[in-house]
Amino acid sequence: MSEIKAAKGTRDIFPPEIQKWQFLENAIHDYYKKFLYQEIRTPIFEHSELFSRGIGSETEVVQKEMYTFSDKSDRSLTLRPENTASVVRAAIENNLFETVAPLRFYYIGPMFRYDKPQKGRYRQFHQFGIEVFADDSPQVDAEVIFAAVDFLNKLRIADIRLELNSVGCPRCRPLYLEVLRKAARAEGGRLCADFRRKIEGNPLRIFDCKLPECAETTRDFPLLDGHLCAECRDHFAAVRETLSWMNVPFQLNPRLVRGLDYYTKTAFEVTSGQLGAQNALLGGGRYNNLIKELGGPDMAGIGFAAGMERIILHLENPALPKIKNLFVAYGEQKWLAHAIQLAEVLRAEGYPVYLDFQGKNLKKQFKKADKIAAAFTLILAEDEIASKSVSIKNMASQEQKKIPLKDLNERLKKNY
C-alpha cells in the first residue's frame, strides 16, 4: 500500500477508462473542425490578475476556489480555473485578431478549482470548449449552441436539456439589478442569511436558493427578461428563432445565471438527468466586454465550456476496434535472438507484437499470450528455425500451421 496518495480531488486515469478519454478527445477534434474551429493550447497557470479581472473578483470561483501561489520571484500565479480568459489573453498578446482567420478556437485541457470533491466534481478536472471572436450576430450564438448540443447528441448522450436565457448587457442589467434588489430588500426578513448576502453582492444568484421559503419568495420577483433593452431583446429573439430553424429544442429559464461575471446577453446551460447534483454538462454564453476588459479591442465573443468528466460518465464502455495482437513465442532462451528479430520486422510492418522475456518455456509463454489477448501466436523454435519457417497459431480456433517465413506477412495480412 502506497504511503503517498493522489492529492484530494485528483485522480489517475488508466485503462479501461482511458479509452473513453481518447475516444472523446478524438471526437472533439473531428467535430469542431467541421465548423473551422482551430485548436489552441494555453498555459496551465497564468498571472492571477487575469482571472480576477476576467472572471470577476466577486465571483465564487475567484474568491474561494482558485489555486493561487507565489513563485520564487513573488509573482502571484494561479492554476487556471477555466480557459476563456486565457484564450482571450493569448489572442490579444499574439495579435491573433489580426493574423488568424476565422477567429474560432477550441481547447481541451485540465482546469483547477479548490472545491470539495463529489460526483462529477474534482479539483483537477477537464474541460473542452469553443470560443468565437468578433461576431455579434445572434446566429453565431445559435450556431455555438447547436455545436454544443449536437455534439452531445452525436455522442448519444441521452436525457439532456438545454436551458436558455439572456442576462442583458451593461446598459440594461444594472437597472434591473436595482429593481431586483429593491424587491429583495423588502422581503429580506423572510430569507436565509446566504440569500441576504447575495442581494448586495450577486443578486442574480438569489434565484438559485433551493430552500422552500426562499424559492417561494422569489417566485414573484421581477425577472430580467422584462427589463432587457431593445438591443438585447431583439438579439435574444433572433437567437431563439435561429435555434428553431436548426431544430434545437430549448427551455427558457429566466432564472438561469452563469457563475462568471463576463457573460452578457445569451447565457445557456446543458444539464443531464442522469447525473447527480453536479448535473451541468456544459455552460456558456456571450461575453461582449471581456476582450476589452482584458486590454484588447472592443470585440464580441461567445463560447461554452464542457465538463469532460461528466460527459465520460455518460459514455458507454469503449466499443473499440479489435486490435489483433501478435505474440512471438520462442520456447528456449537460445532462440530469443531470432524471436527479437522477427518481432522487429513485424512491428515495422505495423503489427502490435509482444515478446515475453520472462517465459521459461513454451507453456509459460502461451499463458502470457493468453493474458495479453493475443489473436495469433507465432512460434519460432528449433523446428521452425531449422526449416526457415514459423508456426502460426490462431488462439481462438486453436488452428496451427507451419508456414515458410517468407509467407508470413502475406498470411497475416489475409487474417487482419
Assess 153 for contact with RNA (CB under 7 A).
Answer: no
Q: How far apart are CA 378 and CA 343, in angstroms?
A: 10
Contact (Cβ atoms closer than 8 angstroms) between residue 197 and residue 293: no
Answer yes or no whether residue 363 interacts with RNA by CB under 7 A.
yes
The verdict on 277 binding RNA (CB under 7 A) reads yes
Of residues 208-227, those binding RNA (CB under 7 A): 208-211
Beta carbon of residue 130, minimum distance to RNA (angstroms, whole number): 12
By the rule CB under 7 A, 283 interacts with RNA: yes
118 makes contact with RNA (CB under 7 A): yes
Buried residues in 187-214 as b, exposed as e (16+ CB within 10 A): beeebeeebeebbeebbbbbbbbeeeeb
User: SS3 breakdown of the chain: % helix, strand, coil, rounded to 5?
Assistant: 40, 20, 35
Using CA atoms, how far apart are residues 259 and 44, in angstroms rounded to an integer? Answer: 21
Smallest distance, Å, CB 182 to RNA?
A: 21
What grid cell was written down for 147?
455545436
Q: Looking at 131-139, 202-210, 247-255, 294-302, which segment touches RNA (CB under 7 A)?
A: 202-210
Task: Check residue 395 for interaction with RNA (CB under 7 A).
Answer: yes
Cα(151)–Cα(307) distance, integer angstroms: 13
The mark string for 339-358 relative to RNA (x by CB under 7 A, - otherwise) is: --------------------
Say whether residue 1 binds RNA (CB under 7 A): yes
Q: What is the distance between the alpha carbons of residues 113 and 107, in angstroms, rounded to a whole number?
A: 18
Among 22, 57, 333, 400, binds RNA (CB under 7 A): 400
List 47, 75, 334, 371, residue binding RNA (CB under 7 A): 371
DSSP class of residue 323 equals P
Among 42, 78, 86, 127, binds RNA (CB under 7 A): 127
What are the b/e assignments for 61-76, b being 16+ CB within 10 Å? Answer: bbeebbbbeeeeeeee
Q: How many residues bind RNA (CB under 7 A)?
A: 68
CA–CA–CA angle 267, 272, 84 (5° rounding): 40
Span interacting with RNA, options 155-163, 248-256, 337-345, 364-372, rule CB under 7 A: 364-372
43: number of Cβ within 10 Å = 12
Contacts of 213 (CB under 8 A, 6+ apart): 190, 191, 192
Asked if 156 touches RNA (CB under 7 A), the answer is: no
For binding to RNA (CB under 7 A), which residues are involved?
1, 5-6, 8-9, 11, 59-61, 65, 82, 113, 115-122, 125, 127, 194, 198, 205, 208-211, 258-260, 269, 276-283, 305-307, 309-310, 331, 361-364, 366-367, 369-371, 377, 379, 381-384, 391, 393, 395-396, 398, 400
